[in-house]
Amino acid sequence: MAYHPGVNMPTGQEPDQVDVEAFYVRTEELIPCAEPKTDAASIPSLLESESWISVCHALLLARRLAAHHPEELSRTLEQILPSLNLHMNSLRSSLCKTALICTADFFRSYGDSLLAIAPGGLPVLVNTLLSKAALEKKFVIEEAKRTLAAMTTSISTNILIDVLLPQARSPNSKIRAVVASCMADTVGKAISETRPGTESCIHITRAELLRTAAALVTDKEPAARKSARVVLCKLKESHVSSASLESWQTFIVTVLGKGLVLQIGRAL
C-alpha cells in the first residue's frame, strides 16, 4: 500500500533515512482527512509516541485537521497544546521545526478562539516561540519567526500586547530583541486597523507600551533598540493624529518623568 505522510502512521522499525521535507508541507497543499473525527481523537495519544518520526506524522495530521476540519480538532486541542509545546522544545531540530509549523497553522485556523479552547495556552506557546526565535539554530530561528508572524497576523492586537509586555522584561537580551520586534509589528497592525475618528485598541495600554519602549530603546541589543524606536514613532504618530505634539510631550512627561523626555526625543 502506498505510504503518504499524515495519511498512514508509520509502523514497524523506523527507516534509516527519512525525508524530513515531507513534514514541511505548505499549508495550502494540505489535504483533507477521510475520517476527521477518528483522526482528531487519535492525535493526543499519537503525539506521545517515543518515535520522533511518528510524532512528526501526527503533527502533520493535526495540521490537515486544523486546515480542513478545525471543529473536529478543537475538541482535543486543549489536550494537544501541552504536547505541541513539548515538541517545539525538542532537541531534534526536524521535530522542533515540524511543531513550529503546526503551531503557525493553529494560529491561522483558530485565531483568538485558541484562548477560549485552551485558556492559558497562548502565553506558554509564546514563551517557547520567543525562546526559539532568539536562541536556536538558524533554520529553527527562521521558522520560529515565521510562526510569530502568523501569530501577529491571526491574534487580536490587544491580546498580543497583554502577552508580550511581560516578556519584554526578560533577562535575556536576545529574547527582548525578539519581543521588541513583535511589539513593533503588533502596534503597527493596531494603528493600521484603526478607522479615522476612532481610538486605536492600543489606547488603554499606551502608557505601558511607552514605558516598555523607553526601556528597550537603550537596550544593549541593537535589534531591540531599533524596534523600540519603531514603537515610539508609531505611538507618537497615533497620539499626534488625534491630539497635538504638545500633548504628546506632556504625555511623555506624565508617564516617564522629565528626565526621559530628551532621551525619547533623541530616539525619535
Q: 10 Å Cβ neighbour count for 234? A: 22
Element (H, E) at 178: helix 173-192
Tens of pLDDT, residue by residue, the chain (268 residues): 333 333 343 444 445 577 889 999 999 999 999 999 999 999 999 999 999 999 999 999 999 999 999 999 999 999 999 999 999 999 999 999 999 999 999 999 999 998 888 777 788 899 999 999 998 889 999 999 999 999 999 999 989 999 999 999 999 999 999 999 999 999 999 888 876 555 566 777 889 999 999 999 999 999 999 999 999 999 988 887 666 788 888 888 899 888 777 777 776 6
Residues 38 and 46 sit within 8 Å (Cβ to Cβ)? no
Compute the half-sphere exposure of residue 261: CA atoms within 13 Å on the CB side of its CA: 13
pLDDT value for 3: 33
Q: Which residues contact 13 (CB under 8 A, 6 or more apart)?
A: none
Q: How far apart are CA 91 and CA 175, in angstroms?
A: 19
- What letter does residue 8 receive in the DSSP assignment? S
Q: How far apart are CA 75 and CA 85, in angstroms?
A: 18
pTM of the model: 0.87
- Cell, residue 79: 489536550
Q: DSSP of 224-240, one letter per residue? A: HHHHHHHHHHHHHHHHH
